[in-house]
Structure 1
Amino acid sequence: MTRFVFSLSAILVAELGLSRSVGAAEPLDAFLEKHCISCHGPDKEKGDLRIDQLSRDFKLGADSHHWAEVIEQVNSGGMPPKKEKQPTQEEIAAFVTNLDSKIKAGRAGRMAARPAVAHYRMSRKEYQNTVYDLLGVRYDPSKPGELNEDTLWHGFERLGSELSLSPSHVDRYYRAAELVLDRAFPTLSVETRKVRKTAAELRYGGGEAQQEALDRLGIKRPLRFLMFPGTIQNALSTNWFGKTGPEHSGLYRMRVQASGVRPPGGQPAHLSIGTRTGEETVDGIIDFDITAAEDKPQVYEFDVMLEMPATLYFCVVATDVVDRRSGAAFRNALSSRGGYIFTHSSETLLLNPNAPQMFDDKGNGIFSTVLLDWIEWEGPLETDAEKSLRNDLVPSDDATPEVVAQHLQRFAERAWRRPVQKEELDGYLKSYLAEREAGEKPVEAYRVAMLGVLTSRNFLYLVEGDPMARERLNDWELASRLSYFLWSSMPDDALFSAAKGGTLNGGGLKQEVDRMLTDSRINRFIDDFSRQWMQLHRVGMFPPDKKLYPNYDRWLEMSMREEPVEFFREMLTKNLPMEGFLDSDWTMVNTRLSDFYGLPEPKADGFQRVSLKPEDRRGGLLTMGAALGLTSDGTRHRPVHRGVWLSEVILGKTPPPPPANVPAIEPNPPKSPKATLRDKLEAHASDANCASCHAKIDPLGLAWENYDAIGQWRTHEKIPAGVGADPQVDPSGQMPDGRSFKDSTEFKRLLIEDRDKFVRAFIEHLCTYGLRRVMTVDDQDDLNAIEAEAKKNQYGVKDIIRAVAMSELMRKR
């Protein structure tokens, strides 16, 4: 049956009351009673929706999103179901036009009544970036005891409705501002220091006795530190720099010269440096593969923010199976200072004969190991650009109150990201004068005023609007909205200049957006948006069972979490078409993921782009280990959760929560025939209360049945209990609109056919992130305009982001 599509003629028929059949002239409630209430009323409540109870107060708008969904379902043929009596096209036209006009009238009423001023608190990450761009100060708000963790809404951590301000927040913001100012203007002089520890110092306590042994044997090679998987060794001790306090916190550069011994056909070792969490584990802040050969050691260099005093440890991670049956004996034999002397794998006579064998008779490693020559730390480091941000920020000790007021006004205008009237600073200047009268030094008194600026709502919040209600952002507000959208931080000088010149709401917007998209700070957007959009915080939330998935380790988990981010970076940088997110003949992998996926190893360190073949069974976001693993519970895959994730992230549709008291799917009974999770799910979903939602969710998850709980390919589902052989998986299904697919490849093809739906969902996610609120029916016209603009450029990822940044929606309050 042909469904209604908006047209001028249909609207005229509906609004002017032109002649039509009696059925088509029925009012809104009559259509609902005739075609909808039987499934969504007091007798039956499909999809947890009671249409008879939806609010008819369209200006209030409490149920506008439900009414918009009703229009979509009626237009698409989803309502009423095909087995029910179908309305005529004229009935549909009259109903849809009538309902749409009511929704639009309500939207106009709500826009006219919107509040004059809106406040959106910065997230922790945005606070961190802002104090760095404002003062050149590095501060980690996620450290225990610092700023409260942000509340998430479907992965997004920036929504104004979620980021409230409690008394505990206020206290922590004061402490954070004090710490930031301490680092910006330290009372003690802090000089950059450098310290190096050699293998002889780290491993052998100086190595004098070991060197004597080498001299007796005529061995000219230097002492090296052989680090086996599970080794925990100090990488930085607080006493290495002498006396170290909080004032020494900041950016440090770590250099380490190392190489690796790699088993034939095995993986390179992975070195993790971080805080100790267990006997053989650390929480890494620096992680990298050791790919250099034993005879060609490489210097690896990383910059890292350290809160001093700090103690860090080395930990070697490897996927090779290490014989740990001897347990402590293994570690003691290799770790005791006098246990062995190591210079090279060919010098096997130096190794402790009582230790488990680490090399074969040809010098090949039996498992991956790291050979450490030295480690060097240098810091704290500050660039000239960072220091320049604090130039002339504090007035001289003999400055008059007028000069102090001028300094504070300049600082407040940058911190508050807008022009500041002198009277707004009266309270802060009074604090300064009160401190001076109490005998405080000028610089300390001025810090009190600066502290007030940094704890003001004008700094902590993005404030949009003023007592006189207006529809659009002014240039200063637009500058902040753009910078926090694309850079997760405050505007830079060029953007401030554009706002001051009043060109942003005019022809200068495109120039600024193009500049921002090519600035290095766009990497903040790549990291933050991709992580929030794809809900990557859930990767590793339920660690896989080691007995079921022995090859899953922290290195693999970290690599999985980074893959979709690096994929997004490549898509944006190259402005590739959006369908690449759904399927691609390439991906981004490091050595660990290439081994896990069975792909050729990258030729360079870190993540590299590699080509895919059909037999690799990868491509796009949906077959990545992160997407497949974050929807698992640690023991088994969860098709429903996979379907919900895909519905939310890819299609922008959040399914309703399940009914209360729905029993969980139980494990297979020991004496029953082995049944797949799909078989149990189909029986579970046969419940009338569950069937309608499962019909929309389950196919989205069942398409990936060939991938287990950590994303490994399989053809049979491993059932630990039950009678018979493990059953073959079935990835076939039927889309809610009736189109069928036999596996994930065909499913991805169907998604690409519906590319426009994915693009629309992506645009809505971008706008939710950029505007810091959920999109509603009130935004549909603006979203349509963004989608039309994106379509002109064949849906390139960068072009879509540019279209959002330049949209009317971005300029509206």
Structure 2
Amino acid sequence: MKPTPIALALLLAPLSVRAAEPFEAFLTKHCVRCHGAEKEKGTLRVDQLSRDFKAGMDAQRWGEVVEKINSGEMPPKNEPKPTQDEIAAFVSAIDTRIKEGRAARMAARPAVAHYRLSRKEYQNTVYDLLGVRYDPTKPGELNEDTRWHGFERIGSELSLSPSHVDRYYRAAGLVLDRAFPTAAGEARKVRKTAAELRYNGGKDQQAALDRFGITRPLRHLLYPGNVHHALSPNWFGKTGPEHSGLYKLRLQASGIRPRGGQPAHLSIGKRTGEETVDGLVEFDVTAPEDKPQVFEFEVFLEMPASLDFCVVATDVVDRRAGAAFRNALNSGSYVFTHSSETRLLTPNAPQMFDDKGNGLFSTVILDWIEWEGPIVTAAEKALRKDLLPPEDATPEVVAAHLKRFAERAWRRPVKTEELTGFLNAVAAERKAGEKIADAFRVALAGVLTSRHFIYLVEGSPAVRDRLNESELASRLSYFLWSSMPDAGLLAAAAGGTLKGDGLKREVDRLLSDSKGDRFIDDFTRQWLQLHRVGMFPPDQKLYPNYDAWLETSLRSEPVEYVREMFSKNLPIDQLLDSDWTTANARLCDFYGLPEPKSGGFQRVPLKPEHHRGGLLTMGAVLGLTSDGTRHRPVHRGVWVSEVIFGKTPPPPPANVSAIEPNPPESPKATLRQKIEAHRNNVNCAACHAKIDPLGIAWDNYDAVGQWRTREKVAKGTGEDPLLDPSGVLPDGRPFKDSVQFKRLLLDDRDKFLHAFVEHLCTYALRRVLTVDDREAVSAIVEEAKKGKAGLKDVVRIVALSDLVGKR
């Protein structure tokens, strides 16, 4: 029997071609029907994917194909299933090709990579370099960073435009002005009591107290809608803060909370409206009248500054309004020491207190206030010590000074010839008659606007697979500190000890340093996409209790939660579920939790009836996936897919109609019911089956994250419908509510750990991971699974990993 032409061609073909035949046969049998010329699902055409794995154009897509097949997602349920042997052979064939092409793909990368500092990293770096406080987010300062799925440090996203360059020059000038001010202000302390804050030092009020025989001191009331100047000349006169700089603010205060109302909240900052302040300092005042609390803060003030006190609260009793009410409370005839002093309850007093002395409003009682500054800390002085050369410095001394500064600023050894242009500029300035300090500033500005400062530079024309020790020091410090390496880390790099046990010692030191708080702040904010909190302000008519301080508190909750986990090295499972959270007084009021005994965030125990636990039930997470009027299950599902499982669903197809509001003449329907009708569209069904269950589980939480059992539907007939948070995961496992859903997530803890490690590596490496990183990520995951997978342990394993040490 003669062989067919195709069989004859295969027999005569090279071995590599014959080996490829089962690979192509699998695609033809199981994939091309849905991902070929006739049909193109999910924008994937397997027939058009490049088979050249060395060039790497489609290696990432092939990796995604393997993942879909391994997970059982492809082929879909309604298509013939391949046998396990077929799957094993196909997956092995692609894995082999990916691995064989890896070396060629890695060699094709550019020899040098540049990663621009984010705004936050720039801010931290200039502080650690010069001890200068600079806010790059203020209007007119550095351009906003472009984000990739929440991460604002991805090198490919952080381009450099002409406007960037101009702003970097202005930023460098401002930073140097603050580092070397022409007229430094002498630190002074100004303290005023509540009596002294009154006109004429409160003498008239004190006389009234004397007549009644009251020995309690005079106190100052701050009530909602009453805005006072925190730096008023009437308070401080010419002895108040005069020069820009760091100031300590101390005050003693207590709070009055109405029955069923919110805790008193004080905001100190710039007034943006009659009762709103853009706060530099904000805090809840929960201390009772008899036990006032001393609060202390550090704030950077740019003079001349205008700061205001504003008490913010949404009260249960309608607030009196009008000039007569406010003038009466601010007049010299109004005297206050304590709400129990009924002899002082003048006709105006019942508008603040009832006949039993109970407060009607959330009110702050101020006893005294104190400003001290401007302050330059010992650490800040040390950073600037001997930075400027002496007036009679020789060119060699100037070069030595600049070299020391450049090595710290550029985070690596620097050759003198790299500084030739800057030194020539200093010489030219000196020749023109400038003082050495002014001339040297030109060179400092040049160093601060160099690409070696603005960028993390990795690699060299002589291609290296691994980072050198200076580059590794910077990668570690910007991973764990969001800033430059300190002297100890640079010394370890210069001494060649940043390896083995030396590397472990340095990573442990970085993790235990207070600068590690920056990692908690920045990674948590970016990973969870917290920049989206408040992007769609909740409708005040629908959510009247939502205010600016609640939003700030909601945004802080997950960060403080992760900080608690990191400090205690708690298992990362508790990111998904726990019997505790971190909350301040405002959040406890919002969630219905026991109020904390003191101000600020602290650990609060949870019970099942609180319906909280883990990141997924926090108001910030639930709110950032809402639109300000209603919850959005699909967006919540996408967030869970991206953040918890590390999988970004494809975008919706074009021209898909939006979900319309409930018609007035129709029975009220839940958003879930409308989404299920929407899923009847064949173009939507496949993706929604994977996304919707991840979001529907949280339907009991409204647009701002509060618990409810019925969905409030504005229009339609009948009563508001009961919510149904039950569902079925794509793998067939059912759940009845968010509690069972979280249990299923914990059953998938290995998948979550893998995704969490990927997020950490993306943050650390400043780039999107590729198929070539998968083995290294899996190695990190396996190492983490050997222990208890505590949060700090996982971060440490990533920092010590081979992946972080490679280019």
Same fold (TM over 0.5): yes
Counterpart pick for 2:551 among 550, 557, 560 = 557
Tell me the SS of whatever aligns to 2:545: coil
Counterpart pick for 1:746 among 740, 743, 746 = 740
Can you give the 5+ residue segments of structure 2 that lack an aligned partner in the other structure?
Answer: 1-13
Quote the offset at 1:366 in angstroms.
2.1
Q: Residue by residue, what CA displacement relative to the aligned partner does 1:540-565 show, whole Å, maximum 9, x if unpaired?
A: 11111111112222222111111111
Distance verdict in 2 for CA 1:674–1:473, change over 3 Å: same
Assess if the C-alpha contact under 8 Å between 2:258 and 2:361 holds in 1: yes
Aligned-partner Cα distance in 2 for 1:172–1:193 = 34
- Higher mean C-alpha deviation, range 280-289 or range 260-269: 260-269
- Whether 2:126 is the aligned partner of 1:139: answer no
- Whether 2:676 is the aligned partner of 1:682: answer yes
- Higher mean C-alpha deviation, range 400-409 or range 65-74: 65-74
Counterpart pick for 1:405 among 372, 388, 399 = 399
Q: Which amino acid aligns with 2:155?
A: G
Pairs within 5 Å for 1:174-323: 174-204=169-199, 206-237=201-232, 240=236, 242=238, 248-264=243-259, 266-323=261-318
Aligned-partner Cα distance in 1 for 2:724–2:428 = 76
Q: Which amino acid aligns with 2:791?
A: V
Aligned-partner Cα distance in 2 for 1:126–1:266 = 40
Counterpart pick for 1:575 among 566, 569, 578 = 569
Pairs within 5 Å for 1:593-672: 593-672=587-666
Q: Residue by residue, what CA displacement relative to the aligned partner does 1:493-542 show, whole Å, maximum 9, x if unpaired?
A: 11111101111134311111111111111111011111111111111111
Alignment partner, residue 798 of structure 1:
792
Alignment partner, residue 7 of structure 2:
none
Q: Residue by residue, what CA displacement relative to the aligned partner does 1:696-738 show, whole Å, maximum 9, x if unpaired?
A: 1110000011111111111111111100111110101111111
Tell me the SS of whatever aligns to 1:601: coil
Alignment partner, residue 54 of structure 1:
49
Counterpart pick for 2:73 among 78, 95, 99 = 78
Q: Residue by residue, what CA displacement relative to the aligned partner does 1:82-134 show, whole Å, maximum 9, x if unpaired?
A: 22112222222221122222222332211011111111111111111111111
Quote the offset at 1:465 in angstroms.
1.0
Aligned-partner Cα distance in 2 for 1:533–1:221 = 52
Quote the offset at 1:31 in angstroms.
1.7
Assess if the C-alpha contact under 8 Å between 1:534 and 1:649 holds in 2: yes
Counterpart pick for 2:782 among 781, 788, 796 = 788
Pairs within 5 Å for 1:82-101: 82-101=77-96
Alignment partner, residue 30 of structure 2:
35
Tell me the SS of whatever aligns to 2:553: helix
Aligned-partner Cα distance in 2 for 1:340–1:57 = 84
- Higher mean C-alpha deviation, range 219-228 or range 303-312: 219-228
Aligned-partner Cα distance in 1 for 2:213–2:611 = 55
Aligned-partner Cα distance in 2 for 1:97–1:201 = 81
Assess if the C-alpha contact under 8 Å between 2:184 and 2:243 holds in 1: no
Aligned-partner Cα distance in 2 for 1:420–1:558 = 43
Tell me the SS of whatever aligns to 1:588: strand
Q: Which amino acid aligns with 1:281?
A: T
Pairs within 5 Å for 1:684-699: 684-699=678-693
Q: Which amino acid aligns with 1:796?
A: G
Q: Residue by residue, what CA displacement relative to the aligned partner does 1:731-777 show, whole Å, maximum 9, x if unpaired?
A: 01111111111111111111111111111111111111111111111
Distance verdict in 2 for CA 1:99–1:198, change over 3 Å: same
Counterpart pick for 1:726 among 720, 724, 744 = 720
Distance verdict in 2 for CA 1:149–1:335, change over 3 Å: farther
Aligned-partner Cα distance in 2 for 1:68–1:606 = 47
- Higher mean C-alpha deviation, range 765-774 or range 47-56: 47-56
Pairs within 5 Å for 1:309-348: 309-324=304-319, 326-329=320-323, 331-338=325-332, 340-348=334-342
> Identity of counterpart residues, as a percentage?
72
Q: Which amino acid aligns with 2:293?
A: Q
Q: Residue by residue, what CA displacement relative to the aligned partner does 1:429-469 show, whole Å, maximum 9, x if unpaired?
A: 00000001111111110111111111111111111111211
Aligned-partner Cα distance in 2 for 1:238–1:343 = 24
Alignment partner, residue 472 of structure 2:
478
Tell me the SS of whatever aligns to 1:392: coil
Aligned-partner Cα distance in 1 for 2:347–2:522 = 51
Tell me the SS of whatever aligns to 1:481: helix
Distance verdict in 2 for CA 1:675–1:465, change over 3 Å: same
Assess if the C-alpha contact under 8 Å between 2:287 and 2:598 holds in 1: no
Assess if the C-alpha contact under 8 Å between 2:252 and 2:294 holds in 1: yes
Pairs within 5 Å for 1:579-590: 579-590=573-584
Aligned-partner Cα distance in 1 for 2:52–2:233 = 65
Pairs within 5 Å for 1:387-536: 387-536=381-530
Alignment partner, residue 802 of structure 2:
808
Aligned-partner Cα distance in 2 for 1:177–1:294 = 48
Q: Residue by residue, what CA displacement relative to the aligned partner does 1:365-419 show, whole Å, maximum 9, x if unpaired?
A: 1222111122111111111121011111111111100111111111111111100
Assess if the C-alpha contact under 8 Å between 2:246 and 2:299 holds in 1: yes
Aligned-partner Cα distance in 2 for 1:777–1:359 = 67
RMSD: 2.2
Counterpart pick for 2:363 among 353, 366, 369 = 369
Aligned-partner Cα distance in 2 for 1:455–1:399 = 24
Alignment partner, residue 3 of structure 2:
none
Q: Which amino acid aligns with 2:101?
A: G
Aligned-partner Cα distance in 2 for 1:25–1:441 = 74
Tell me the SS of whatever aligns to 1:236: coil
Aligned-partner Cα distance in 2 for 1:573–1:308 = 37
Aligned-partner Cα distance in 2 for 1:346–1:602 = 24
Distance verdict in 2 for CA 1:189–1:249, change over 3 Å: closer
Quote the offset at 1:350 in angstroms.
4.0
Quote the offset at 1:162 in angstroms.
1.2
Aligned-partner Cα distance in 1 for 2:500–2:233 = 55
Q: Which amino acid aligns with 1:461?
A: Y
Distance verdict in 2 for CA 1:339–1:640, change over 3 Å: farther
Q: Residue by residue, what CA displacement relative to the aligned partner does 1:341-367 show, whole Å, maximum 9, x if unpaired?
A: 322223455455257622122212122
Distance verdict in 2 for CA 1:243–1:294, change over 3 Å: closer
Alignment partner, residue 102 of structure 1:
97
Pairs within 5 Å for 1:8-27: 26-27=21-22
Distance verdict in 2 for CA 1:420–1:686, change over 3 Å: same
Alignment partner, residue 12 of structure 1:
none
Tell me the SS of whatever aligns to 1:39: coil
Assess if the C-alpha contact under 8 Å between 1:395 and 1:407 holds in 2: yes
Quote the offset at 1:339 in angstroms.
6.0
Quote the offset at 1:284 in angstroms.
1.3
Distance verdict in 2 for CA 1:442–1:77, change over 3 Å: same
Quote the offset at 1:331 in angstroms.
4.9
TM-score (norm 1): 0.94
Q: Which amino acid aligns with 2:516?
A: I
Q: Which amino acid aligns with 1:129?
A: N
Tell me the SS of whatever aligns to 1:507: helix
Aligned-partner Cα distance in 1 for 2:550–2:689 = 34
Aligned-partner Cα distance in 2 for 1:475–1:742 = 53
Aligned-partner Cα distance in 2 for 1:307–1:512 = 37
Tell me the SS of whatever aligns to 2:351: coil
- Higher mean C-alpha deviation, range 312-321 or range 211-220: 211-220
Aligned-partner Cα distance in 2 for 1:368–1:254 = 22
Quote the offset at 1:307 in angstroms.
2.4
Quote the offset at 1:205 in angstroms.
5.7
